[in-house]
Amino acid sequence: MLPRHVQRLGRDWIAHWNGSQILALNSPVSNCVRWAGYYPWASFPLPVPVDFSANWRVPPFIGPWRQFQNSNWQLDNFMQSSCFHLPNASMKPEGEEPLTKKRRLSGQHDTSAPEEETNVSNQKEALHLSVAQNEDKHSSKKGTVKRHWEYFCQHSRTMKILENKETDQSNTESDAKFDFTVMSYNILSQNLLEDNSHLYKHCRQRLLIWTYRFPNILQEIKQLDADVLCLQEVQEDHYRTEIKSSLESLGYHCEYKMRTGRKPDGCAICFKTSKFSLISSNPVEFFRHDIPLLDRDNVGLVLLLQPRFHCKTNAAICIANTHLLYNPRRGDIKLTQLAMLLAEIASVAPQKDGTFCPIIICGDFNSVPGSPLYRFIKEGKLNYEGLAIGKVSGQEQFPRGQRILPIPIWPKKLGISQNCVYEIKRQQKEENAGEKLEAAKLDNTQEIVIASEKLSSKLQHHFKLSSVYSHYFSETGIPEVTTCHSRSAVTVDYIFYSAANDDTAAQPGAEDSFHGGLKLLGRLALLTEKDLWTVNGLPNENNSSDHLPLLAEFRLIER
């Protein structure tokens, strides 16, 4: 039964319904036709005169009033032929726009829908999204910011990185060169998204549903087509049910380490089996029940990969991935977690001649460029004496953690030296050396203790690393951004690598770290905060994480 005010319209006009869903009107009306019910089509004016006939009947598509009420009408395109289009019930209303952070592309209007829209069921939202995704396939995407490829050598310019590429290594130089791409991507765990919903107040609720987000993330991975993926915030149940199988169908082998405790996400490293074979997989747990300092559930993962190409030596590449603690006030934990990761790399990467194989370290380090933790990674040393615990990561302009870092930061029973290597092997050698060596050590105990106290505030590691990204745009000095949500827009994601001697893109001081190594051929450019807010920050309709993927192309240079 139709409501009374709709029945009164009866006898005044005829609705003609056909397969194309066009409603034709045949007599002039000077005011609004008002429909009660679902708000997206609650009231709209007719912008031009239309004609009514003497009679009308209920259109056959309407059916029961409840079904009619729940259908999703909108005034899509008003034609000069006095017709307007009624889209399918699954199509999204044009008024669905966020209520905050209303930064838009130029020329795009903001017609925000009422707040009640956030209560629409996930099932209805999924229907909206499926249609929106199908529309995007047939037209250029709205609200996208294009990222361009930055090249560092002539060879890379001939490669189409963002398309299905076929690397030609059949020439005479193929036995000495091996080119590959590496991506680092924090894909935003759904559990963490829901636990920190205050960070995504600028987003339409429908864009935060995993059934919408995962196809977008997978599409990004397909499009960028990296040979190695380093993923963070990979939720375990999603990895088990769909992420792993989806990536395996794309030719990847996947290794995964879930966070300890009750945290349901972790880190994954996935590599193309056509490019690499797995030598070893080494998970790293930063939680230690016997050390109060290490009471957090973050993890890391270190893989040793064998390139599939003919070369003079058995070259290998070490790939590490991690997600360090977020808490800006716990720089002591961040540095200790980093030291544990570096110690694992140092135990995996040595070669027979005593040198290290090329190393790539990816991840979300929850530290900004120029911070003490960042400088320690790049410079290989850090004197933390007198350093405030809240200044280690540089996340806060006015850090709240003012407590000074203790000396040493971590206890000796952790088994990691201030040089970020495991001490277990050293202790075993000392035990096997005999009583005479032990006696000699005891005679010099006081001298050794004094020396260690003087050096205890200095951290070191054996890898001289470069960053793929420079963190600022050279033309303007504006910072690059890897994450952008309601609270902040900063760089916290990195790809570090051991540079070869002839790598012109490497930072000064890194080029002498290896006789062989990696040459940076190109990278996918990052964006500014302003760029990202033109598409309403992250996540948005086309980018379904609050982080951008980082992508770099390397060439393996043999010694």
- SS3 per residue for 68-129: HHHCCCCCCCECCCCEEECCCCCCCCCCCCCCCCCCCCCCCCCCCCCHHHHHCCHHHHHHHH
Q: What is the mean pLDDT of residues 311-332?
A: 91
Distance (Å, whole) CA 511 – CA 95: 54
Going by their DSSP bridges, the two strands 276-285 and 299-307 should be labelled as antiparallel
Average predicted confidence (pLDDT) for the chain: 76
Q: CB–CB of 546/188 below 8 Å?
A: yes
pLDDT, one tens digit per residue, over 274-291 is: 999 999 999 999 999 999
Please provide the size of the chain in residues: 559
Q: For the chain, what percent of residues have pLDDT higher than 90?
A: 57
283 phi, psi to nearest 5 deg:
-75, 150
For position 406, what pLDDT does the model report?
96
Q: What is the CATH number of domain 179-398+459-557?
A: 3.60.10.10
Q: Domain residue spans in the chain? A: 179-398+459-557
pLDDT above 50: residue 513: no
Q: CB–CB of 181/228 below 8 Å?
A: yes
For position 508, what pLDDT does the model report?
56
pLDDT, one tens digit per residue, over 358-381 is: 999 999 999 999 999 999 999 999
480 versus 125: which is more confidently predicted?
A: 480
Choose from 115-124, 416-425, 459-468 the range with maximum mean pLDDT. Answer: 459-468
